[in-house]
Structure 1
Amino acid sequence: MSDFLVEPHDLVSLRQLWYWLVIVEEGSVTAAARRLSISQPALSQHLRALERSMGGPLVERLPRGVQLTPLGRAIQADARDVLAAAGRLDRQAHQAKALETGSLEIATLPSLVDTTLLEPLRRWHREHPGTSIRLHEFPLADLLVKGVAGGTADFAISTRPAKWSGPVVHLGWDQFMVMLPPGDPLSQRPGPVALADLAEHDWVLYEPANGLADYVTIACAQAGFRPRAAVLTSQVQAAAQLAAAGLGPALVPSHNVPPELADSARPLDPPVIWELTAFARMTLLPAAAAFIRLVSAQTWAERPVGAIVLPGVG
């Protein structure tokens, strides 16, 4: 048996250690009994039992209270460490149980729900049927950041926040594709498309209430123009369909390109990408970390050389 393990009958009571430390903090058995809401004789009995286990008195009774004995001073720090470790063990057990029961609240962008999160959600439901998931969908990434900072969700799956004091986990890079309308001359050329070559086109753009609108504006500005709208939509799936219907080019994250329209999607030159991350206000609990592992386990593209990285938010 390991040196640091002892037989159960040699273990002291955590409750008795706690009672003793409260007596030391309060300075008297009477005050400690009042704080603990137990009778003074019962508290004294617990103290005597602990002292028998320790092999000697832990406090000296004085007319105005108690003070630590040399033995008490010698074990006080270790007693606090033992109680702190017991508290951590209890929290870890409850957090681990959250993998099987309870709920997980995730803040995210609507464009990620039926793409990036779809398979992880399916796997989570299969592997942890007792834990439900509630999605908080924010149309704008800056609103999402503010929501997570205010405690709306346990964590977020979104673009990297520009300023964040809590944990941030890199998930991967997603490229933007341009959906070309049928018959566009650029669709006849092989290889990536330069955004600048689309400056004179009428575009399928996103409503300002959709955060992708800002990213499209930034990407086009990098190419030296401001896109002119043929039609505005609030849905990324609709943007792809409208482009395929001939209303103009549209920028769509690669994960949102419908499989049936893959032939209409072309990469950009230089590539335009955004970073997807998971982030939380405080330390990620086991349930959150387990879900994030499912998301990061998916296939992610490498960061292209010379890519334009769209900025974070918040």
Structure 2
Amino acid sequence: MFEDEQSIAYVCLYNLPSFIGFISFATLYCCKAELQLLWIRVVMDAIKLKMESKKANYVGEVSNQKRHGYGKYVYPNSFFLYEGEWSMGRKHGLGKLMMKDGSFYEGEFICGEIEGSGLRHWAKTGDSYSGEFKQGELHGFGVLQRASGETYEGQFCCGLREGHGSLTDSDGHAYLGSFHRDKRHGEGRIEYSNGDQYEGSWVLDQKQGQGVLRCVDGSLYDGQWRNNLFNGQGIMIHTSGMVWEGIWTNGRPLGGASIMVIEGGGEGGGGGGGGGRRRRRRRRRRFGSCPGEGLLRGSAAADGGRGRDRHE
């Protein structure tokens, strides 16, 4: 029926499970050793053909039977396609690695790894990164642009923001300073979209430590922070001219009282050679409504709750 073993092998290729069962039967029950060996060779050839049909496709330069030079390679799973430079069977030099979903990397490769400078695009999120890589990870200096409008320019380590950098989020708030494990951490300065500014210490994306908040209306707080709120020793100079100085807790003066200074509220005229001169009056009062709350709410350090960042 078949002219040679290869013809039988091609039939086996498309009926492999059935022929494997048959060869088991033939091997056990056939009396002639020559027939047993024939069927074994036929099945092995069919398996070989099946594996070759699934092999990746490469078109390009070779050396010593290895991909070497410039070439195009489609991976066995057909999800990845690489076109670029090769060295002894590995991606090495400049090239582009494309994925079936539209994502890609274009840039430098070293010994098969994404290493050096390049451009990475993620089709699913729309994010893009241009900069340095190490073993496929964002590592070194680069610019990460997210589809949401957020842009980070600075240092990366193992895929995370680490070191000095600048971050502008989708709301227009611009931060310049230190990062640690992808969060603002250390010394930094942020300018909010409404014009308010904070400069000081950060701990894991929150204002914590010593810092100064300058509001666009002229109000100012200089002191200690914790969890994005006035906490500890600090002084507030309100745009109205009132000054609060003392210990703060969760955005309010401790105990509900402190020193208030009213600028330009003195009694003018009269003796003492002080006619027409404004005096400073210093007195204690109980706090009914503390301007510190308005300062936090009115600045970009609020997100609908007292002292929380809107953008966070």
Which protein has the bigger strand share? 2
Task: Specify the TM-score bucket, using the shorter chain as the normaliser.
Answer: under 0.3
Q: Which has the larger radius of gyration?
A: 2
What's the TM-score, normalizing by structure 1? 0.24
Q: Give the number of the structure whose residues are more often helix, by fraction.
A: 1
Q: Which has the higher contact order (CA 8 A, sep 6+)?
A: 1
Structure-2-length-normalised TM-score: 0.24
